[in-house]
A and B are shown apart, each in its own frame.
Chain A
Amino acid sequence: MYAIAKGLWVVAFAGAMAMPAMADGPTPANIAVKGSAPEVCSLGGWTYVSGPGSFSGGTNATVTYSNDQMVDGLANSILGPGSAMTLHAPLLCNTAINWSITTSKGALRLESGTTPPSGFASQWLYELRSGPYTSGGTAVASIEVDDADGTPLSGESHGLTSVKATQIAYFGLTFSPFAQSARMLAGSYSESVTLTVSPSL
């Protein structure tokens, strides 16, 4: 009988060795899932919304007044009320941003730089309204209003929180030249306006 009992113990021991790592209690395993959405700030090309000028679109857009939209037959300025041009650029940001507007001249100015004789002018000053809007046309933040005074606009930086920035559907820009009482010197006039948007994180 001893021999039989011993044999049974050997069998039992062998069975225990076969399952040393198995647990009969709860056995959890956790898979931690993690991913990051990077800061995205995507500014699309300009689109023409309203105004008298012609437009060629894109990231570097150009709006052009025709001759008869600028002066009459006696070279008197026509630009003024009713000459405003409005452009939109789609803007998608998923994070807080900074944006700013800069200009190259601070006036719609004669490119040749010729000093005008008495009674003539060589530039139009203007008002520039700029800011971000929702898809419904509501301003997301205070709209910046700059009256060009002939010196380049260096661009005040405007910060927007993530909550505000994610409401933006487009950036709006309205260029409104002021009426000019003088006659205008002949030549090409130009001004450049640059919008810069960047994540602020």
Chain B
Amino acid sequence: MTNRTDILLAACLLAGLCGPALAATVAAQPLQVNGDVPVRCKLSPPAAGTSVNTSFAPNSNGGDLTLTGLVDPDTALTRATESVIQIPIICSGAYSLTITSQGGLSNQNASAPSGGFATHVNYLLSANWAGATQSVETAGSAVTLDLSQSGSQAGNLSIDFSLPAGRGPLVAGTYTDEITIQLNAQ
């Protein structure tokens, strides 16, 4: 007890908080400060990178990627098309990061294809993040790239949309797909 009083006295002297009444009342009030910092992740608005026969317009949901020259006007075969989209990402801990395509470009309004024409065309989807690259070619049904990490990371997620030349020929109409980037702190 004597040692403890000495230590408290020394501590209060060092802190300059000793008063006349303190010498008569000895009290220990240890304060423990705790706090948990959750994993925080942020997905910033995307920006256009390399572009061939495409244009990209960011919006509040992500963005619109327009294929400005989908097919050759003489043959209805696809033209070489590419777009790289950069998305800044910060995560302070473990997280899941997935990029999902609905399966390729489809013309939902067209009748069943015939005569060698197509109403669906597949493309190559590639994503580069934190030094890792994953690629897939769509095949008609939803497909997901998984770039989840167990540690913190900050940088640009690079998504590469690539449609080779010569696919089709395509029935006239509008072709659409949706690529969803899902970032979820663990």
Contact = CB atoms under 8 A, between A and B. Distances in A.
Nearest to B71: A37
A25 B169 CA distance: 43
Interface in A171-201: 199, 201
A73 interface: no
B33 to A, nearest CB: 6
A5 B29 CA distance: 13
A15 B29 CA distance: 26
For this complex, into which size category does the number of interface residues on chain B fall? 35 or more
A102 interface: no
Contacts of A169: 115
Contact of B61 (A21, A25, A30, A134): A30
A10 interface: no
A160 to B, nearest CB: 11
A118 to B, nearest CB: 54
B162 to A, nearest CB: 12
Interface string B162-180: 0000001111111111111
A29 interface: yes
B115 A162 contact: no
B90 interface: yes
A77 B136 CA distance: 69
A30 B62 contact: yes
A8 B76 contact: no
A36 B175 contact: yes
B33 A8 contact: yes
A39 B172 contact: yes
B38 to A, nearest CB: 5
Contact of B172 (A4, A37, A161, A164): A37
B65 interface: yes
Given A1-B29, A166-B117, A31 B159 contact: yes
Contacts of A39: 172
A199 B76 CA distance: 13
A162 B41 contact: no
Contacts of B114: 163-164, 166-167
B146 interface: no
Given A1-B31, A4-B31, A40-B169, A168 B115 contact: yes
Contact of B40 (A19, A29, A201): A19
A33 B68 CA distance: 11
A19 B185 CA distance: 14
